[in-house]
């Protein structure tokens, strides 16, 4: 909490934001409105080309909206250059200045502030210390590892005490092992500094792990905004349902609706208590992944026969044999219903095993 005083937390808001490219042929952002609270860690999640990076860049001031407003700390910042918005951004490539030393990279954003040289350097050293890179100050970026570069980029973003952090897939250039630890560090770091953060990623694990709230985007539209638990348990539509979760939510067509349930909720009937929907599960093949069994097969009895995936945790030891049918079931509380046409959430319908 010692660092908290440097984090000036402000709100960030976009309202009815539209961004068109190529003279209106491409709508990168299609009428998005969302408000980010003070000190919140908001993750923009979506597949590539969904407009999440464009949204981030519009907040940064690198792109100007076609229509709609960007508000930082309650005031409209449309048309203002990035410098005035007091935002700091970490790029996917880190965008360090390759000809400058680490120290010079971190000092760079302080130069417009007309501080004496010594004060600038001591601020830069402080930021470097905070991120544990103070022993690298004389190196050039090419002499650093991916993780170290990422910290330099963070230190450069942090040193100016920005009001908003904008992070554009900062972990995607790290290898898988480093990514997990960097994710943890990033989260703890933001909690210490307390600065409002917008984080763009296409990786749902990062989104679920880091975000206070997640904004799921697709085709330039905001599909759902909510806490990780909400987004996972109560997806607003079939896009969110299948984009989040690995393996994704199973969707079984039934009378103009889609019945959705998560793979971990389709279990051998003996393991499902309470009110449940029973189904016969014809198993094709099994994958053994980090302790869980992912069972691929066709489910019969919930709706139309559909290929689905069941995820059996290590605690479920029932024998499941490929080529055979087994009695499986889903608790009715775990069922989610979507309109087959629009993909939107719809009213629950009664599902009984006899159907189909």
The answer to the question of residue 235 lying near other proteins (CB under 8 A) is: no
Residue with tokens 């990035």: 82
- Residue from 235, 335, 320, 316 nearest 276 by CA: 335
The answer to the question of residue 97 lying near other proteins (CB under 8 A) is: yes
CB of 46 to other proteins, least distance (A): 20
The answer to the question of residue 111 lying near other proteins (CB under 8 A) is: yes
| Binding residue count for other proteins, defined by CB under 8 A | 24
The answer to the question of residue 99 lying near other proteins (CB under 8 A) is: yes
How far apart, in whole angstroms, are the C-alpha atoms of residue 94 and residue 92?
5
How far apart, in whole angstroms, are the C-alpha atoms of residue 316 and residue 311?
10
Select from 44-52, 89-97, 212-220, 243-251 the region that touches other proteins (CB under 8 A). Answer: 89-97
Phi and psi, residue 69, nearest 5°: -125, 150
* Contact assessment for residue 257 and residue 247, using Cβ atoms and an 8 Å cutoff: no
The answer to the question of residue 170 lying near other proteins (CB under 8 A) is: no
Specify the DSSP element, H or E, that contains 330: strand 325-331
Select from 81-89, 216-224, 249-257, 340-348 the region that touches other proteins (CB under 8 A). Answer: 81-89
The answer to the question of residue 83 lying near other proteins (CB under 8 A) is: yes
Among 23, 112, 274, 291, indicate the residue that binds other proteins (CB under 8 A).
Answer: 112
- Residue from 147, 146, 152 nearest 101 by CA: 152
Among 42, 87, 182, 214, indicate the residue that binds other proteins (CB under 8 A).
Answer: 87
- Residue from 240, 293, 305 nearest 264 by CA: 293
Among 9, 92, 306, 331, indicate the residue that binds other proteins (CB under 8 A).
Answer: 92
Helices (H), the chain: 52-60, 82-85, 102-107, 117-130, 146-158, 176-193, 204-210, 228-233, 238-243
The answer to the question of residue 291 lying near other proteins (CB under 8 A) is: no
The answer to the question of residue 172 lying near other proteins (CB under 8 A) is: no
The answer to the question of residue 142 lying near other proteins (CB under 8 A) is: yes
The answer to the question of residue 161 lying near other proteins (CB under 8 A) is: no
CB of 84 to other proteins, least distance (A): 9
How far apart, in whole angstroms, are the C-alpha atoms of residue 135 and residue 142?
15
Residues that bind other proteins (CB under 8 A): 60, 62, 81-83, 87-89, 91-93, 95-99, 108-109, 111-112, 140, 142, 156, 160
């Amino acid at each position: 909490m010692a660092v908290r005083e440097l984090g000036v937390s402000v709100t960030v808001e976009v309202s009815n934001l539209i961004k068109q490219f190529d003279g209106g042929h491409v709508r990168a952002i299609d009428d998005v409105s969302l408000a980010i609270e003070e000190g919140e860690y908001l993750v923009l999640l979506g597949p590539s080309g969904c407009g999440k990076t464009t949204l981030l860049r519009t907040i940064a001031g690198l792109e100007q909206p076609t229509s709609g407003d960007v508000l930082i700390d309650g005031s409209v910042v449309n048309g203002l250059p990035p410098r005035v918005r007091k935002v700091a951004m970490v790029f996917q490539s880190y965008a360090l200045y390759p000809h400058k030393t680490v120290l010079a990279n971190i000092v760079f954003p302080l130069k417009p502030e007309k501080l004496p040289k010594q004060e600038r350097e001591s601020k830069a050293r402080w930021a470097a210390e905070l991120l544990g890179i103070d022993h690298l100050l004389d190196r050039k970026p090419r002499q650093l590892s991916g993780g170290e570069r990422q910290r330099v980029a963070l230190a450069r973003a942090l040193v100016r005490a920005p009001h908003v952090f904008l992070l554009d897939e900062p972990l995607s250039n790290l290898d898988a092992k480093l990514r997990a630890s960097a994710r943890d560090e990033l989260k703890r770091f933001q909690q210490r500094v307390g600065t409002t953060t917008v984080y763009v990623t296409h990786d749902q694990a990062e989104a679920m792990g880091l975000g206070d709230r997640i904004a799921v985007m697709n085709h330039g539209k905001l599909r759902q905004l909510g806490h990780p638990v909400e987004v996972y348990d109560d997806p607003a539509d079939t896009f969110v349902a299948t984009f989040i979760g690995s393996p994704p939510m199973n969707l079984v067509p039934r009378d103009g609706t889609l019945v959705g349930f998560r793979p971990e909720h389709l279990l051998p009937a003996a393991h499902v208590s309470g009110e449940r929907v029973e189904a016969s599960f014809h198993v094709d093949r099994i994958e053994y992944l980090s302790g869980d069994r992912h069972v691929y097969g066709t489910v019969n009895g919930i709706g139309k026969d559909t290929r689905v995936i069941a995820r059996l945790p290590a605690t479920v030891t029932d024998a499941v044999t490929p080529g055979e049918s087994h009695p499986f079931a889903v608790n009715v509380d775990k069922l989610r219903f979507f309109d087959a046409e629009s993909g939107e959430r719809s009213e629950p319908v009664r599902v009984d095993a006899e159907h189909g």
